[in-house]
Chain A
């Protein structure tokens, strides 16, 4: 199908964008990469009064190191994040997740800010930024807010961002020595929507897991931080027993939604399998460090 009639504006500055958002609020849509927005327009699932195209705002792009953080501008394309040396060296979880983010033509256009602002429950980046304790910056004419990723995702396609706010950047702490990252996803084909997936950041001292963050996606309405599964393995050496404990405890953390990709029980099974695999990989990486 074709998009409904639209009013379109290409903005020249963040300030102009914020003015328009302030004026139009809910009635306006930010057009960044458009890789999720355009399908909804073509399918007539949304009909904004105004489309605000921010693609010319170069100040919203770019990946830089600032102290012990990596700053990623919201308009950075997935392809730029995938190809970034800074990301490869300092954010190995993101580097590992990026090849799973859609297909090449979509990655050339889609943006990290768009993916996070959309909050698709099957998306990789929301889970990664929660696992990595990232900070998400939004701006409006009322001012700037920095929101912890853990507080940002509120539900199905719902976030803490208000209708007059623009997501401008994401700050992600660099991987620290002693911390290992691992990311895994199951999908029918590379780049398709995930059936199950997990982002893992673990602190490992010798053989002892001293801290673990396991964040699951493609299951609940938002990324799920699994506290019970983590508690089952923290403070112990990694073993077949803690592997089983983590897999068993996961049902206290996760109640996946049924969807076309599979039933709740099927998805929980897959997430359990991924839990064991991702922790095995984290331990292997810690041993290799």
Chain B
């Protein structure tokens, strides 16, 4: 009934995978180590920095604050999946255009978090964008350019839909 290891089956970026995992392994170590999806980064490993953000059943979560064993039966999307689907292509272009990354360590987490904000095409103030991203640390840019890139993407999408 209780286990130190368990075989789990989940859908990652659209593909069903089955693996034997240690109960203690957190989700991002599983994604990086077992599946080779190294887009999700490990920063603090205690839920502060946001670099490990991934999607669980459609919502952004901290990949270091969930065990892989808990993801049995769920759907996970990483930055690789979001990139492949084209969902964040415009956001990624605006990040590049606006130099919203320097070292790039925080970028996958920023993209996944911003993608959740952009799910709703509704006008947002810069303060709202900043607050939405407040759980993701960037140590290079000073955030200004990141907020610019998200704001530009939102405005472009608002124009397209109106």
Q: Do A and B bind each other?
A: yes
- Interchain CB contact under 8 A, A8 and B67: yes
Q: Which stretch, A31-39, A194-202, A272-280, A281-289, touches the partner chain B? A: A31-39
Residue from A8, A50, A102 in contact with B69 in the complex, judged by beta carbons closer than 8 Å = A8
- Interchain CB contact under 8 A, A34 and B65: yes
- Interchain CB contact under 8 A, A4 and B65: no
Q: For B46, list chain A residues within 8 Å (CB).
A: 38-39, 42-43
Residue from B22, B66, B135 in contact with A104 in the complex, judged by beta carbons closer than 8 Å = B135
- Interchain CB contact under 8 A, A105 and B60: yes
Known contacts A105-B50, A190-B134: A55-B70 contact under CB 8 Å = yes
Q: Digit string of B124-139 for contact with A (CB within 8 Å is 1, else 0)?
A: 0000000110111000
Query: How many chain-A residues does the 8 Å CB contact rule pick out?
Result: 35
Complex CA–CA separation, A189 to B50 (angstroms): 14
Query: How many chain-B residues does the 8 Å CB contact rule pick out?
Result: 35
CB-contacts of B121-159 with A (<8 A): 131-132, 134-136
Residue from A5, A7, A38 in contact with B65 in the complex, judged by beta carbons closer than 8 Å = A38
Complex CA–CA separation, A38 to B70 (angstroms): 12
Known contacts A9-B2, A190-B131: A35-B24 contact under CB 8 Å = no
Please report the number of residue pairs spanning A and B whose Cβ atoms sit closer than 8 angstroms. 103
Residue from A4, A8, A190 in contact with B3 in the complex, judged by beta carbons closer than 8 Å = A8
Q: For A106, list chain B residues within 8 Å (CB).
A: 47, 62, 65, 135
B37 interfacial contact with A, CB 8 Å: no
- Interchain CB contact under 8 A, A109 and B135: no
Residue of A nearest to B6 (CB): A8
Complex CA–CA separation, A106 to B61 (angstroms): 6
A53 interfacial contact with B, CB 8 Å: yes
Residue of B nearest to A79 (CB): B59
Most chain B beta-carbon contacts within 10 A, residue among A8, A79, A105: A105
Residue of A nearest to B2 (CB): A9
- Interchain CB contact under 8 A, B50 and A6: no
CB of A41 to closest CB in B, whole Å: 8
Residue from B1, B26, B45, B50 in contact with A103 in the complex, judged by beta carbons closer than 8 Å = B50
Q: For B47, list chain A residues within 8 Å (CB).
A: 35, 38-39, 106
CB-contacts of B19-59 with A (<8 A): 22-26, 29, 45-47, 50, 53, 56, 59
Known contacts A7-B3, A8-B23: A108-B134 contact under CB 8 Å = no
Q: List the 10 shortest-distance A-B pairs measured between CB atoms, nearest first.
A: A103-B135, A39-B46, A9-B2, A8-B23, A38-B65, A3-B24, A108-B59, A6-B23, A190-B131, A6-B24
11 other contacts beyond A35-B62, A42-B45, with CB at 8 A cut-off?
A1-B45, A2-B25, A6-B23, A8-B69, A38-B46, A38-B47, A42-B46, A43-B46, A104-B132, A106-B47, A109-B61
B residues near A (Cβ < 8 Å) are 1-4, 6, 22-26, 29, 45-47, 50, 53, 56, 59-62, 64-67, 69-70, 72, 113, 116, 131-132, 134-136
6 A–B contact pairs at CB < 8 A? Answer: A2-B25, A8-B3, A8-B6, A79-B59, A104-B135, A105-B53
